[in-house]
Amino acid sequence: MIPQVHKQGSDTYGLLKYLYGKGTHEEHIDPHLVASFDGMAPDPGRDPGATKRDLQQLLDQPLQLLAPDQRPEKHVWHLSVRNAVEDRILSDDEWGQIARRMVAATGIDPGDGAGCRWAAVRHADDHIHIIATLVREDGRRPNHHRSGKRAQAEARLLEVEYDLQRVNPGDGTAAKRPTSAERHKAERQGRERTAREELRETVRRAVAGVQSEGEFFDRLTAAGLLVQKRVAPSGDLLGYKVALTDDLNKDGEPVFYPGSKLAPDLSLPRIRERWSGNAAGHEPDTDRSAGAARVTPSTARRQATSASWQAVLIIDQGDDGQIAALIAAGGEMLDALAKTSAAHTRRELRDAAWAFERASRSHIRAERGHDRALRQAARNLVHGGPALGRGEDGATTAMLIDMAIFFVLAAAHWHGKKEHAQQAAAARQAAEHLRAAYQAAAPMYLGPMYQRGRNLSQPLQRKQTAYLRRAVPELAEQVLAEPGWYALAATLADVERAGHDPAALLAEAAERRELDTADSVSEVLVWRLRRMADLPADASTEPEHTTTAPTATRGPAKHPAHRKERSAKSR
């Protein structure tokens, strides 16, 4: 159940016309009252003898108790209460009871016999609107301070009592929701998202790894946005606003949104904080010129994997300010990955970044500087350019996604401990999208490794099994029973060929962090070993000197490498 207190207005009749009208898309069906302050208010929807003007005059009558110069200009209070799509359809009586609970909880009509006059209108199955006049029957103003928070608290109680979908409580750090008018406009224009949401995603991607104002605005322009800067008389830049070229108002002019209206962390001062951590001797990188060495997509993904791994260790044990900064920077890394991903993983990675955006903000202030490595990783992903999803680029994408799943689950666990319900839920949702992206990216690279492991000679297979039992005796039987074991066996052979001690490196890979969240421990260890030993992520070509023997083969497991629920255990 989602209650929303709208801006106070001054036109009671105008709001009633909307509530009893057909709606912008004729979506209002059978508008009628379900409750009112005295239970006897005229209903223009069901009573042929009643008019909207009658109801307006009744609601506004307490204004006459005050002298004209004492009457509040913004005297119209408006609350909408909406249920989830999955909820059952409530009866008029149930909605009436909910309306009475809401006006009592918010202080509009606290039940002292002299509350404000109000009426609740239903014109759809899933929601009601409550309109009230902000003058009590005794001529005083109501105590409706923080009515939005109070409505939210009451909604949590009503969800339990009416067996409705539970909504995680908010903390005021979420991005502003699109208005109904913005949603209807998007539908008319055939947009998947509203202009506000498209702008928020585009600006977030422009921010990913950015290290100067000039670079930020260059990226906005390159993304095709219209940009207006707000400059002080002194010449100092104060802020900015952006618009889509094809989102116009009724006068044919672009509709601009300030960064702060897109999301709390997209105002110019908040964006500047991101590169403030480059102080103390760390000069920001500049964009690479055409003649300079360019980081490759695969190298950028390897660097991002290593930075994510280090961030996971800090999230498990670090200070709150450090963790908040790392989670925010992790959001930048996901935005950069989505921006540069191949077609077969792009949609799920985009949805993962979109979901994790909510997890990247909380009331805990980020201590910038600790996030430098992750922000640089995001920057390198952007400068590395799009990955085609093949060869080493595609394999390192799978490697990074595998690590990103651990990262967002660690963030979800931390938010859960801090009772950040919305952020924790958003991080878990991001993990689901990352699992789907992993399934699209990984099998084509695990498959050849699996085949190579199956084709190892019996002596070599026994050798790799011995390494496994020596390194992780408590996990050995589980790993040997997994289809991914053969990919791990091939990787252990590659590790030894590269001059490393397979058992020692495997033990280190397993000890670095718990594996209870993995469905396929062997797949997770494959990517860790290949990163730690600096092996090619794409091992489709069998290395020289490998002794093989033809054996029957079957494909690798077709499942994500991580469970859907994260345990609280960590090292």
In angstroms, the Cα distances linking 21 to 35, 54, 127, 519 are 18, 16, 15, 54
Tell me the pLDDT tens digit for each residue of 259-268: 999 999 999 9
Tokens 């609601």 found at: 59
518/520 Cα distance (integer angstroms): 5
539/81 Cα distance (integer angstroms): 55
Could you give the strand order of the β-sheet that contains 116-122, starting from the edge strand earlier in sequence? 2-5, 76-82, 127-136, 116-122, 32-36
State mean pLDDT over 399-418: 95
- The mean pLDDT of the chain is 88
Where are the alpha helices (H) located in 176-212, listed in sequence order? 180-189, 195-207
515/511 Cα distance (integer angstroms): 9
* pLDDT score recorded for residue 552: 36
Tell me the pLDDT tens digit for each residue of 126-160: 999 999 999 999 999 999 999 999 999 999 999 99
Closest by CA position to 542, among listed 496, 507, 491: 491
Could you give the strand order of the β-sheet that contains 226-231, starting from the edge strand earlier in sequence? 226-231, 237-243, 257-258
Q: What is the pTM of this model?
A: 0.77
State mean pLDDT over 74-103: 94
Three-state secondary-structure class, residue 428: helix
Three-state secondary-structure class, residue 18: helix
Looking at the predicted structure, is the pLDDT value of residue 476 above 80? Answer: yes
* pLDDT score recorded for residue 540: 66
State mean pLDDT over 444-456: 93
CA torsion through residues 65, 71, 73, 78, sign: negative
567/41 Cα distance (integer angstroms): 54
Looking at the predicted structure, is the pLDDT value of residue 282 above 90? Answer: no
Closest by CA position to 522, among listed 475, 460, 467, 464: 475
* pLDDT score recorded for residue 567: 39
* pLDDT score recorded for residue 571: 34
Confidence of residue 293 (pLDDT cuts 50, 70, 90): low
DSSP character string of 334-353: HHHHHHT--HHHHHHHHHHH
Tell me the pLDDT tens digit for each residue of 221-258: 999 999 999 999 999 999 999 999 999 988 899 999 99
* CATH architecture group of domain 2-161: 2-Layer Sandwich (3.30)
513/402 Cα distance (integer angstroms): 14
In angstroms, the Cα distances linking 507 to 317, 403, 469 are 21, 18, 10
Q: What is the DSSP letter of 239?
A: E
Looking at the predicted structure, is the pLDDT value of residue 489 above 90? Answer: yes
State mean pLDDT over 396-419: 94
Confidence of residue 78 (pLDDT cuts 50, 70, 90): very high
Rg value, the chain, Cα = 29
Q: How many CA atoms lie within 13 A of 510 on its CB side?
A: 21
* pLDDT score recorded for residue 450: 94
Q: How many CA atoms lie within 13 A of 312 on its CB side?
A: 20
What is the number of other CB atoms lying within 10 angstroms of the CB of residue 195? 22
Tell me the pLDDT tens digit for each residue of 162-202: 999 888 776 778 888 787 778 888 888 888 899 999 999 99
* pLDDT score recorded for residue 75: 96
Backbone angles phi, psi at 548, to 5 degrees: -125, 155
271/378 Cα distance (integer angstroms): 15
25/181 Cα distance (integer angstroms): 10
* pLDDT score recorded for residue 560: 42
In angstroms, the Cα distances linking 333 to 32, 154, 205, 372 are 50, 37, 9, 12
Confidence of residue 514 (pLDDT cuts 50, 70, 90): low
Contact 417, 455 (CB under 8 A): no
Confidence of residue 550 (pLDDT cuts 50, 70, 90): very low
User: Which residue type, as a one-letter code, is found at position 431?
Assistant: A
* pLDDT score recorded for residue 24: 63
Looking at the predicted structure, is the pLDDT value of residue 494 above 80? Answer: yes
State mean pLDDT over 114-124: 95
* pLDDT score recorded for residue 312: 92
Tell me the pLDDT tens digit for each residue of 324-363: 999 999 999 999 999 999 999 999 999 999 999 999 999 9
Of 17-21, 380-384, 525-529, 538-542, which gets the smallest average pLDDT? Answer: 538-542
42/58 Cα distance (integer angstroms): 9
Beta bridge partners of 528: none
Looking at the predicted structure, is the pLDDT value of residue 522 above 60? Answer: yes
State mean pLDDT over 19-24: 83
Three-state secondary-structure class, residue 274: helix
398/387 Cα distance (integer angstroms): 12
Tell me the pLDDT tens digit for each residue of 354-407: 999 999 999 999 998 889 999 999 999 999 988 887 889 999 999 999 999 999
